[in-house]
Amino acid sequence: MTEQKRPPRSTTRGFYVKMKILHKHGRPQQEKSSCCFYTYYKWLLWLSLSLYFFTSYLITNNNNNLKSTKLSPLDSTNSNTTKNPLTTNLKFQQQSSSLLNNLKVFVYDLPPKYNTNWLENERCSTHLFASEVAIHRALLTSKVRTFDPYEADFFFVPVYVSCNFSAVNGFPAIGHARSLIASAVKLISKEYPFWNRSRGSDHVFVASHDFGSCFHTLEDVAIADGVPEIMKNSIVLQTFGVIHKHPCQEVENVVIPPYVSPESVRKTMEKAPLNGRRDIWVFFRGKMEVHPKNVSGRFYSKKVRTVIWRKFNGDRRFYLRRHRFGGYQSEIARSVFCLCPLGWAPWSPRLVESVALGCVPVVIADGIRLPFSSAVKWSDISVTVPEKDVGRLAEILERVAATNLSKIQRNLWDPRTKRALLFNNHVHEGDATWQLLHALSKKLGRSYSSSTVSRQLEIDT
Ligand SMILES: *[C@@H]1O[C@H](CO)[C@@H](O)[C@H](O)[C@H]1NC(C)=O
Ligand SMILES: *[C@@H]1O[C@H](CO)[C@@H](O)[C@H](O)[C@H]1NC(C)=O
Ligand SMILES: *[C@@H]1O[C@H](CO)[C@@H](O)[C@H](O)[C@H]1NC(C)=O
Ligand SMILES: *[C@@H]1O[C@H](CO)[C@@H](O)[C@H](O)[C@H]1NC(C)=O
Ligand SMILES: CC(=O)N[C@H]1CO[C@H](CO)[C@@H](O)[C@@H]1O
């Protein structure tokens, strides 16, 4: 976690201010030597900062070695008497590891055919389902990773299933997902004792496409297929989530955001107008006619996009485009409201892109379960429009603009919100991988290492 090695901002500033004051005081007497005086202090600052980074590095490493001490939140806050940056940093370290309950995750080292071979296609690690790659990557260098499976709370099974892009339509072909995962489970349960001893309950998978671990893009087929028997006892990190009962979430799960490259967001923001003016009022780009699907009474709701197009295409306040455009992120950065209507599945990458680029997401997907709701207060940063009210969209957004738009934007532009939805190559405190680890740390009861599961199994057998 690179961020923690940065000195607490207030300390640096204090030092800098002190330096400036000294500099000012010295001025009257030392008019001529002031340049050298200044250089001298710059060197001193540089020297002390390097010394500081070096010592905090040592302390961080020592701290990692003391992993057996599970700190309670109380322990981590009672060392506030000194304002010494070293103690402050140590305190920060302890706080963040106690926030994750000193979680330990073992990452299986599977043969490359299950994961890294797919990376030959560059799209595999950047497309909207790429959280399966990003999470694996971030875990490998994370502080929670353990190389000793006997001390692990959870076991991560890195199988990339969304990277077989069809030559015809460019979408991932996920027909092989079930067999690839089954084969991985067969391998680990043969070579290691950990799957069998917990029946997989402390094993973690990613299923980042439309209907989670149902592994099919059509909802009715996905429902008919259901979650594979072999994964039913495990934990699935999935982009799909609804508040009602649904066969594709009948497994212990954590709703995660779809993958959006932090690099692409950064590049777009660099090119965004400096004055931050947003000249598009309502933005949507994407397929307008998603084939209606006939699933248990939810048939009507699939027409949401068609209604938006028919009703608002002629409205000058609405900027609606139905064709693909590589530069669409710059359009989001220019927009006040960004429509996130359901498509094939309720979730969409638009949600993350809107938040990351500062456009208020307008969620039109009844019953959607949004990612990391304990960290992201979705009701404070977005507008929700029921599917049945989509025809009144303009009226609803006018009212928000006239009343609480600036409040919503202020909440939305809090950097913590954006951070929670983006996956980085290395875990940063508060980013998407950190959030899911935090969610896992609340599920320690499923871990064999904690006694509940082992005791339960003894009773069962
Ligand atoms: C990739 O998808 C195609 C269908 O588009 C399928 O025929 C092929 O078997 C898949 N490849 C693997 C390795 O599963
Ligand atoms: C786990 O159970 C499976 C099936 O019951 C068995 O084939 C496998 O050998 C077991 N693994 C170990 C490590 O004992
Ligand atoms: C939807 O499916 C039901 C059966 O599940 C069928 O009776 C009905 O005709 C279908 N509706 C349409 C419009 O296809
Ligand atoms: C903004 O106002 C709408 C009603 O117009 C309300 O439903 C919503 O909760 C408000 N949002 C915030 C963040 O205050
Ligand atoms: C959070 C915490 O422990 N705060 C304490 C910091 O120290 C002062 C006095 O040194 C206490 O008054 C605070 O309660």
Place of tokens 């940065």: 6
| pLDDT value, residue 100 | 84
Q: Is 173 in the pocket of ligand 1 (CB under 6 A)?
A: yes
Q: Is 74 in the pocket of ligand 5 (CB under 6 A)?
A: no
Ligand (nearest to CA of 291):
3
| pLDDT value, residue 92 | 45
For 402-459, the DSSP string reads HTTHHHHHHHHT-HHHHHHT---SS--TTSHHHHHHHHHHTTGGG-SSSHHHHHHHHH
66 vs 193: CA distance, rounded Å:
27
**Atom 3 of ligand 4, residue of closest alpha carbon:** 400
**Atom 7 of ligand 2, residue of closest alpha carbon:** 190
Q: Please name the residue ranges forming H helices in 292-383.
A: 304-312, 328-333, 349-356, 378-381
pTM for the predicted model, two decimal places: 0.74
Ligand 5 centroid distance, CA of 79 (Å): 8
Residues β-bridged to residue 172:
165
Which domains are seen in the chain, by residue range? 2-99 (no CATH), 105-259+427-460 (no CATH), 262-420 (3.40.50)
Residue 384: helix, strand or coil by DSSP?
Answer: strand
Q: Is 82 in the pocket of ligand 5 (CB under 6 A)?
A: no
Ligand 5 centroid distance, CA of 10 (Å): 18
415 vs 360: CA distance, rounded Å:
14
Nearest residue to 217 via CA among 157, 159, 288, 162? 162
**Atom 2 of ligand 1, residue of closest alpha carbon:** 173
Cα Dmax for the chain = 86
Q: What share of the chain is helix, strand, coil (3-state, %, to 5)?
A: 50, 10, 40
453 vs 193: CA distance, rounded Å:
15
Q: Is 171 in the pocket of ligand 1 (CB under 6 A)?
A: no
Asked whether 153 and 444 are in contact (CB, 8 A), the reply is yes
Pocket lining for ligand 4, CB < 6 angstroms: 379-380, 399-400, 403-404, 407-408
**Atom 13 of ligand 5, residue of closest alpha carbon:** 80
Neighbours of 232 (CB within 10 A): 16
Ligand (nearest to CA of 186):
2
Residues of the chain falling short of pLDDT 50:
1-33, 60-95, 294-297, 299-301
Ligand (nearest to CA of 195):
2
Render pLDDT for 112-170 as a digit per residue (tens, 0 to 9): 999 999 999 888 998 899 999 999 999 999 999 999 999 999 999 999 998 888 877 77
**Atom 6 of ligand 5, residue of closest alpha carbon:** 80
Task: Report which ligand 1 atom has the smallest distance to the Cα of 167.
Answer: 5
**Atom 9 of ligand 5, residue of closest alpha carbon:** 81
Residue 278: helix, strand or coil by DSSP?
Answer: coil
Pocket test for ligand 4, best of 376, 404, 408 (most atoms within 8 A of CB): 404
Nearest residue to 93 via CA among 144, 138, 59? 59
**Atom 12 of ligand 4, residue of closest alpha carbon:** 380
Q: Is 164 in the pocket of ligand 1 (CB under 6 A)?
A: yes
